[in-house]
Copies of this chain bind each other. A is one copy, B any other.
Amino acid sequence: MGRVISGITTSLDGYITGPNDGPGRGLGEGGERLHYWVFGGPWSYAEGPRGEATGADKEYLDSAMGNLGAVIGGRGTYEAAEHWGGHNPWPVPFFIVTHRPEEEPHDGEFTFVDGLDAAMEAARAVAGDKDVQVMGGADTIRQALHAGYVEEFTLTIAPVVLGAGKRLFEGFTENLHLEPVRVLQSPFATHITYRVAR
């Protein structure tokens, strides 16, 4: 069976978005800086992304994508991303965790699933010996960490203090032991990968 992996980008102060994120406002005020690493440097919502990940950032992306079999995302992320224009952005099946699975579009781009446990079961089944990636948002990652699903977690830290926004670990009150596996650093991000102890 493949692994369950997860990763998300935060600021130094632990925010996964700046203030006022949402549809049309992406990762919120200043939030573009969280994802400079994804696009090879500065970009803005006004002008749109320009390039691609390079160097250590590409190395991390390639490692996360190398054995990908399925992706799980939360409904909030799906909405904030404006449904990725109606097209699954991943080259593998994409499961959206939602309380309203009946709202799934009929074109087969996304599979809506009622709850994380059901999404995990479906994703594992389709992934086989490939990895299931829990991409976020924060609430979905917290649920997956809480349930003990995540075997490898990558904390990507963008070199910015945002001062406000949504915290990755908001309301998460558990103790977790992790084991550093590797670290990659570019001018735009530091990617720390951990094995999560069970």
- Number of residues of chain A lying within 8 A (CB) of chain B: 34
Contacts A13-B14, A14-B14 hold; do A174 and B161 have CB atoms under 8 A apart? yes
Give min CB distance, A55 to chain B, whole Å.
12
Q: Is A162 close to B, CB under 8 A?
A: yes
Q: At the interface with chain B, which of A82-90, A106-114, A117-125, A178-186? A: A178-186
Q: When the two chains form their complex, are residues A155 and B12 in contact, meaning their CB atoms are under 8 A apart?
A: yes
List, in ascending order, chain B residues with CB within 8 A of A186's CB.
Answer: 180
Give min CB distance, A41 to chain B, whole Å.
13
Q: How many copies does the complex hold?
A: 2
Contacts A14-B13, A169-B14 hold; do A160 and B180 have CB atoms under 8 A apart? no
List, in ascending order, chain B residues with CB within 8 A of A159's CB.
Answer: 177-180, 194
29 contacts between A and B (CB under 8 A): A12-B155, A13-B169, A13-B172, A14-B14, A145-B161, A155-B157, A157-B192, A159-B178, A159-B180, A159-B194, A160-B175, A160-B177, A161-B169, A161-B172, A161-B174, A161-B176, A161-B178, A162-B175, A163-B169, A163-B175, A163-B176, A164-B173, A179-B187, A180-B187, A180-B189, A180-B190, A183-B183, A183-B190, A185-B192
Distance of A3 Cα from B178 Cα, bound (Å) = 34
- Candidates B160, B178, B183; contact of A176 at CB < 8 Å: B160
Q: Is A26 close to B, CB under 8 A?
A: no
Q: Is A22 close to B, CB under 8 A?
A: no
